């Protein structure tokens, strides 16, 4: 049965009469577990009831980040980010993927909007989750085999991100210049790397896509070369400072991980069709929600709850 969708004013009314005092608005349902775990310690300690609202639950046509942000703009215009109605206080906070909004300078400046520090939430799963445990549980491979293969997961991540650095440059330029191109973060694999994952850059394909990007940009050649060179140097600097997670899409790590699992597994039977989703789920449940990385989300939430006197 489809869930009843309200109008925008009706949704605010629903929030006002709900038993929940805190509404956490996010992009997609797959992020619900992590954000609920982040919220629960603050809320449970203060006996605050909360609700996670995903974009598809809002009465707004669209997808991705656009939907919760459109609701943010509406609820802000109604002065209802902290809403007091008939003695009940309702607080809204939006947890969103940063993507490349910092490069586009389109991040909303509000205490009620908290972006990931890294490209997206999945980057946190791979940086702070227990990859060996997640892979072993998802693939049913013995954990000692996983640990023998992956000595240092931090180095593994850096190597993966470095392998696709030239692809990241193409995608980042395309997105920051708002060019409709196949050089897109929405791609599941790098088309310029031989074999799509670990292979070296295919120079001819790289230059073909670069030329295509130039044509699609509408820029004069000298201007395109200047702008792309500047971005390329910026990406090189980000990588040299080990800050690749700012611009490397977290979901892409799964491509490398699955390739590695195929090599490790040999003739062992593995359900590769569901492997990625299982790994992501296991990574989420392996996170330590008392770790320092959580404070980036928890501190602004705590401040809002204090401001609302909840």
CA distance readout (Å), 49 to 43, 61, 62, 76, 114: 7, 28, 28, 22, 20
- The reply to whether 181 and 58 lie within a common domain is no
pLDDT confidence of residue 251 = 97
- The reply to whether 72 and 142 lie within a common domain is no
How much of the chain exceeds pLDDT 70, in percent?
A: 98
- The reply to whether 262 and 181 lie within a common domain is yes
Residue 76 has pLDDT above 70, yes or no: yes
- The reply to whether 76 and 194 lie within a common domain is no
Higher pLDDT, 224 or 42: 224
- The reply to whether 246 and 102 lie within a common domain is no
Residue 82 has pLDDT above 60, yes or no: yes
1 domain-assigned = no
Residue 4 has pLDDT above 70, yes or no: no
Residue 152 has pLDDT above 90, yes or no: no
| Res. 265 pLDDT band, cuts 50 70 90 | confident
Higher pLDDT, 26 or 150: 26
Residue 262 has pLDDT above 60, yes or no: yes
Cβ(173)–Cβ(213) below 8 Å = yes
3 domain-assigned = no
77 domain-assigned = yes
- The reply to whether 110 and 153 lie within a common domain is no
The number of domains in the chain is: 2
For residues 113-122, give the mean pLDDT: 98
Residue 105 has pLDDT above 90, yes or no: yes
Helix axes of 252-265 and 131-139: crossing angle, nearest 10 degrees: 60
Residue 30 has pLDDT above 60, yes or no: yes
Residue 223 has pLDDT above 90, yes or no: yes
Nearest to residue 266, comparing CAs of 149, 134, 132?
149
Helix residue ranges, H only, 78-202? 101-104, 121-128, 131-139, 143-149, 153-163, 165-176
- The reply to whether 188 and 112 lie within a common domain is no
Mean pLDDT of the chain: 94
pTM as predicted:
0.94
Least confident range from 125-139, 182-196, 256-270, 271-285: namely 256-270
137 domain-assigned = yes
Residue 41 has pLDDT above 90, yes or no: no
Name the token pair of 144. Answer: 């000692």
2 domain-assigned = no
Cβ(84)–Cβ(76) below 8 Å = no
**CATH no. for residue 78?**
3.40.50
302 domain-assigned = yes
60 domain-assigned = yes
255 domain-assigned = yes
- The reply to whether 263 and 164 lie within a common domain is yes
Residue 198 has pLDDT above 70, yes or no: yes
Residue positions counted in the chain: 310
Written as one string, the DSSP assignment of 25-72 is EES-GGGHHHHHHHHHHHHHHTT--EEEEEGGGSS----TTHHHHHHH
Q: How many CB atoms lie within 10 A of CB 192?
A: 23
Name the token pair of 249. Answer: 């899409």
Domain that holds residue 19: 8-122+290-307
Residue 3 has pLDDT above 60, yes or no: no
- The reply to whether 110 and 137 lie within a common domain is no
pLDDT confidence of residue 1 = 41
pLDDT confidence of residue 190 = 96
- The reply to whether 28 and 169 lie within a common domain is no
- The reply to whether 271 and 301 lie within a common domain is no
For residues 81-86, give the mean pLDDT: 94
- The reply to whether 227 and 251 lie within a common domain is yes
Spatial separation of the C-alpha atoms in residues 168 and 235, rounded to whole Å: 8
How much of the chain exceeds pLDDT 90, in percent?
A: 85
């Amino acid at each position: 049965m489809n869930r009843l969708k309200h109008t925008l004013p009706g949704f605010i009314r629903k929030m006002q009469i709900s038993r929940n005092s805190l509404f956490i608005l996010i992009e997609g349902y797959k992020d619900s577990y992590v954000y609920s775990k982040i919220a629960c310690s603050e809320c449970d300690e203060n006996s605050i009831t909360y609700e996670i609202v995903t974009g598809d639950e809002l009465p707004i046509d669209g997808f991705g980040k656009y939907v919760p942000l459109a609701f943010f703009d509406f609820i802000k215009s109604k002065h209802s980010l902290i809403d007091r109605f008939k003695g009940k206080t309702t607080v809204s906070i939006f947890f969103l993927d940063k993507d490349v909004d910092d490069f586009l300078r389109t991040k909303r400046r509000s205490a009620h909007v908290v972006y990931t520090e890294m490209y997206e939430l999945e980057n946190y799963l791979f940086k702070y989750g227990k990859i060996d445990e997640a892979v072993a549980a998802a693939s049913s491979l013995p954990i000692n085999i996983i640990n023998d293969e992956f000595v240092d997961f931090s180095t593994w991540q850096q190597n993966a991100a470095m392998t696709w650095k030239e692809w990241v440059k193409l995608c980042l330029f395309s997105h920051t210049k708002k060019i409709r191109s196949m050089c897109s973060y929405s791609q599941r694999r790098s088309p310029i790397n031989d074999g799509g994952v670990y292979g070296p850059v295919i120079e001819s394909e790289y230059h073909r896509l670069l030329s295509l990007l130039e044509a699609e940009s509408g820029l004069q050649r000298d201007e395109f070369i200047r702008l792309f060179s500047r971005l390329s140097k910026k990406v090189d600097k980000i990588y040299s400072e080990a800050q690749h997670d700012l611009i490397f899409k977290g979901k892409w790590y799964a491509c490398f991980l699955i390739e590695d699992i195929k090599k490790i597994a040999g003739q062992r039977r593995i359900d590769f069709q569901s492997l990625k989703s299982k790994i992501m789920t296991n990574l989420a449940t392996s996170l330590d929600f008392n770790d320092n990385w959580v404070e980036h989300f928890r501190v602004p939430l705590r401040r809002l709850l204090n401001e609302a006197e909840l």
